[in-house]
């Protein structure tokens, strides 16, 4: 396997067979609606991760020791979006005995990642941290896009818990309100519902997949994303949500993605913030 690409956290390359967790790079950018640039995100996040301490002061995880990470080279974007999403599924299906952390790329990727990691999505809960509900039936004539990805997963039977939503259509709102497989925690009620959010995530059981759209965070934390929305999660709130899911010992966390980030030359610190978020996901997963 090609080994001359950069490794997450600048760790020495670890053979994939020996790895506990695998970082996959998926530079897909085909159905974005507004700002562009997310294709460059995997590379920028890995580059910035090389500046991050291997020791995490919160979990006491030391990535120099454990868990063992393997960073795969980017999966080249080829063909139609449907073909690429199918390729993403095949790319991660052989990693089912590992924890998969996927760096996007646009949110559409989550559909391929979930299909690659589980046989029956009806057994899965997707925890989606996102400013947008992504429950549209069809966007710009497309059935598969960043705005429809959770609708497609819901159709396959997934339960979905959404946190931080503050931009959606009336049709999406009505679907979320009426359907008992969708639980939506809106950003405007984040403070009053905080204990409910933590209790819901702490009460999850079984197989869970975590999807982190960086636009869930407030633009004061991560301004560089395709469609930013004011009034989002603080860094601490996002970290607490991820920690509650990943350290829930009744949950088997199969994988996670970090999507819709746009690399930002000014300030370079924003790339570092996205890389730190990816590192936190791995640390919380590993501490269990
Ligand atoms: Mn999204």
pLDDT for 82-128, tens place per residue?
A: 999 999 999 999 999 999 999 999 999 999 999 999 999 999 999 99
Does position 50 have pLDDT exceeding 50, yes or no? yes
Band of pLDDT at residue 34, cut at 50, 70 and 90: confident
Q: For the whole prediction, is pTM greater than 0.85?
A: yes
What mean pLDDT comes out for the span 246-252? 97
| 3-class DSSP state of 51 | coil
Structure-token pair, residue 87: 């390729």
**Orientation angle between helical segments 235-246 and 194-202, nearest 10 degrees:** 20
Could you tell me the distance, in angstroms and rounded to a whole number, from the CA of residue 104 to the centre of ligand 1? 11
Q: What is the mean pLDDT of residues 162-180?
A: 98
What confidence tens digit (pLDDT) does each residue in 2-16 have? Answer: 456 899 999 998 999
Instruction: Determine the length of the chain.
Output: 288
Residue 283 Cα to ligand 1 midpoint, Å, equals 23
Q: Give the CA-trace dihedral at 128, 131, 134, 138, to 10 degrees.
A: -170
What is the Cα–Cα distance from 152 to 150, expressed in whole angstroms?
Answer: 5
In contact, 232 and 200? CB cutoff 8 Å: no
Q: What spacing in Å lies between the alpha carbon of 269 and ligand 1's midpoint? A: 22
* Average model confidence (pLDDT) across the chain: 95
CA 130 to ligand 1 center in whole angstroms = 5
Distance (Å, whole) CA 117 – CA 99 = 10
pLDDT at 20: 98
pLDDT tier at 288, thresholds 50, 70, 90: low
Q: Ligand 1 is a single-atom ion; what residues have CB below 5 A from it?
A: 107, 130, 132, 134, 213
C-alpha of residue 168 to centroid of ligand 1, in Å = 11
C-alpha 199 to ligand 1 mean position (Å): 23
The Cα–Cα gap between 251 and 283 comes to 16
Place of tokens 């429809």: 148
**CA 150 – ligand 1 centroid, Å:** 8
Q: How far is the CA of 14 from the centre of ligand 1 (A)?
A: 31
Across 95-223, the runs of DSSP E, i.e. the strands, are 99-104, 125-129, 159-165, 182-186, 206-213
CA 233 vs CA 116, 210, 212: distances in Å? 29, 16, 12
Domains of the chain, first to last:
8-287 (3.40.800.10)
CA of 59 to the centre of ligand 1 (A): 28
Q: How far is the CA of 62 from the centre of ligand 1 (A)?
A: 31
Q: How far is residue 41's CA from residue 12's CA, in Å, rounded to a whole number?
A: 22
CA of 32 to the centre of ligand 1 (A): 10
């Amino acid at each position: 396997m090609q080994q001359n690409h950069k490794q997450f956290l600048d760790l020495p390359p670890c053979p994939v067979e020996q790895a506990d967790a695998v970082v996959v790079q998926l530079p897909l950018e085909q159905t974005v609606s507004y700002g562009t640039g997310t294709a460059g995100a995997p590379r920028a996040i890995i580059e910035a991760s090389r500046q991050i301490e291997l020791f995490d002061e919160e979990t006491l995880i030391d990535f120099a020791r454990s868990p063992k990470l393997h960073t795969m080279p980017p999966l080249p974007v080829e063909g139609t979006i449907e073909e690429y999403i199918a390729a993403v599924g095949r790319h991660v299906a052989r990693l089912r005995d590992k924890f998969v952390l996927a760096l996007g790329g646009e949110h559409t990727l989550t559909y391929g990642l979930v299909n690659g990691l589980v046989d029956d999505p009806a057994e899965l809960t997707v925890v989606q941290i996102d400013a947008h509900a992504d429950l549209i039936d069809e966007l710009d004539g497309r059935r598969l896009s960043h705005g429809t990805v959770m609708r497609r997963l819901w159709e396959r039977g997934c339960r979905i818990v959404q946190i931080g939503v503050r931009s959606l259509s009336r049709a999406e709102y009505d679907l979320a309100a009426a359907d008992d497989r969708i639980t939506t925690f809106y950003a405007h009620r984040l403070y009053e519902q905080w204990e409910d959010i933590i209790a819901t995530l702490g009460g999850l059981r079984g197989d869970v997949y975590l999807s982190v759209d960086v636009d869930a965070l407030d633009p004061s934390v991560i301004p560089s994303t395709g469609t930013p929305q004011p009034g989002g999660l603080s860094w601490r709130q996002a970290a607490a949500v991820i920690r509650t899911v990943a350290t829930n010992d009744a949950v088997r966390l199969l994988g996670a993605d970090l999507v819709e980030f746009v690399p930002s030359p000014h300030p370079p610190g924003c790339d570092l913030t996205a890389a730190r978020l990816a590192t936190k996901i791995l640390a919380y997963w590993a501490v269990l």
